[in-house]
């Protein structure tokens, strides 16, 4: 269980480091340092905590990989792209097709409706944002959650248990989404902000479905890497999902002020309607893995 322990130490250091560094980052911006004055309009402390968390997570990957004996990026799924681009395309098409199908269900039943046709400038702005967000988020999250965390967990556990455990953590991280407002920033503000960033579960009836769906989605992405031996297909799938999520919010709206929990609140992933589709995808991929297993 050496790799699992290393992951726990890595996560502890990342969160502890973000709590310690975020007040320093905030105070640096609002000091007399003129070269940071362009950030003065961004005074939300949670932004600094999130940026420190992401930065430390990425910087710490090198240390974690070195400690775990990972000697090349190909071991975390970044194999040479030669002959791998078809996997990226297949993943992208699967992501677009699957979430488009899930988004179409509430439209067909009248739970959501299409908004008036946006202007061309709005379209171009949306497409640019959705494509960039899809690629950047997919590359970062697949490298971190699937390439490194799942890749190390499956050294200690059977791949399916490693996939479930890693996906539970992947889903949980999406619930650090609140934006606590702190009046006075002190050296302990990072520790005060962390509990305040937890999702407001008591006022959100959609969170159970979202947690289950995110766990299923993470497990699907793990199973795809287990099958293909690289991250290209899972990156394409993840990017396609993000593009569809953003496009669904751009083009449609709920027909009710209090959308049914079954359909979700406009994010597709926060409704139970998407759960059978994700479960079917996971079952199919696992069956293919059993028919053509890859070495651990």
62-108: per-residue pLDDT in tens?
899 988 888 889 999 999 888 889 999 999 999 999 999 999 999 99
pLDDT at 37 over 60: no
Residue 224 is predicted with a pLDDT of: 95
- Render pLDDT for 153-169 as a digit per residue (tens, 0 to 9): 999 999 999 999 999 99
- CB–CB of 219/164 below 8 Å? yes
Winning range, highest mean pLDDT, from 108-112, 121-125, 164-168, 259-263: 164-168
Q: Read out DSSP for the chain? A: -HHHHHHHHHHHHHHHHHHHHHHHHHHHHTSS-GGGGGGTT---HHHHHHHHHHHHHHHHHHHHHHHTT--SGGGGT----TTTHHHHHHHHHHHHHHHHHHHHHHHHHTSEEEPPPPPHHHHHHHHHHHHHHHHHHHHHHIIIIIIIIIHHHHHHS-HHHHHHHHHHHHHHHTT-------SS--TTHHHHHHHHTS--GGG-TTHHHHHHHHHHHHHHHHHHHHHHSSSHHHHHHHHHHHHHHHHHHHHEEESSSS--TTT-SSSSTTSGGGHHHHHHHHHHHHHHHHHSPPP-
Confidence of residue 142 (pLDDT cuts 50, 70, 90): very high
Residue 43 is predicted with a pLDDT of: 62
Q: Indicate the pTM of the whole model.
A: 0.90
Q: Per mean pLDDT, which range of 5-14, 206-215, 263-272 is the poorest?
A: 263-272
Closest CA to 293 of 167, 160, 94: 160
Average pLDDT over residues 36-61: 76
Domain ranges within the chain, ordered by starting residue? 74-291
pLDDT at 44 over 80: no
- Render pLDDT for 177-225 as a digit per residue (tens, 0 to 9): 888 888 788 888 989 888 999 999 999 999 999 999 999 999 999 999 9
HEC sequence for 178-221: CCCCCCCCCCCHHHHHHHHCCCCHHHCCCHHHHHHHHHHHHHHH
Residue 29 is predicted with a pLDDT of: 74
- CB–CB of 237/91 below 8 Å? yes
Average pLDDT over residues 231-239: 96
Residue 268 is predicted with a pLDDT of: 87
């Amino acid at each position: 269980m050496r790799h699992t322990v290393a992951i726990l130490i890595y996560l502890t250091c990342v969160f502890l480091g973000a709590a310690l560094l975020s007040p320093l980052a905030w105070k640096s911006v609002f000091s007399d340092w003129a070269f940071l004055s362009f950030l003065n309009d961004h005074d939300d402390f949670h932004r600094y905590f999130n940026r420190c968390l992401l930065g430390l997570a990425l910087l710490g990957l090198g240390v974690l990989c070195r400690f775990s004996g990972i000697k090349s990026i190909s071991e975390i799924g970044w194999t040479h792209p030669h002959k791998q681009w078809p996997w990226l395309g297949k993943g992208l098409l699967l992501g677009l097709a699957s979430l488009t199908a899930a988004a179409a269900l509430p439209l067909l039943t009248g739970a959501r409706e299409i908004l008036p046709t946006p202007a061309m400038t709005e379209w171009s702005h949306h497409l640019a944002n959705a494509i960039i967000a899809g690629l950047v988020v997919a590359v970062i999250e697949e490298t971190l959650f699937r390439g490194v965390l799942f890749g190390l967990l499956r050294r200690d556990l059977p791949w399916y248990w490693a996939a479930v455990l890693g996906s539970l953590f992947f889903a949980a991280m999406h619930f650090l989404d609140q934006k606590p407002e702190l009046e006075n920033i002190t050296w302990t503000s990072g520790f005060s902000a962390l509990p305040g960033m937890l999702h407001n579960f008591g006022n959100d009836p959609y969170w159970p479905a979202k947690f289950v769906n995110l766990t299923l989605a993470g497990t699907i992405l793990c199973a795809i890497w287990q099958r293909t031996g690289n991250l290209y297909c899972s990156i394409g799938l993840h990017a396609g999902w993000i593009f569809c999520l953003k496009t669904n919010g751009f083009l449609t709206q709920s027909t009710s002020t209090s959308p049914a929990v079954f359909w979700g609140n406009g994010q597709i992933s926060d409704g139970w309607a998407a759960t059978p589709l994700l479960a079917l995808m996971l079952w199919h991929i696992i069956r293919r893995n059993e028919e053509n297993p890859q070495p651990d």
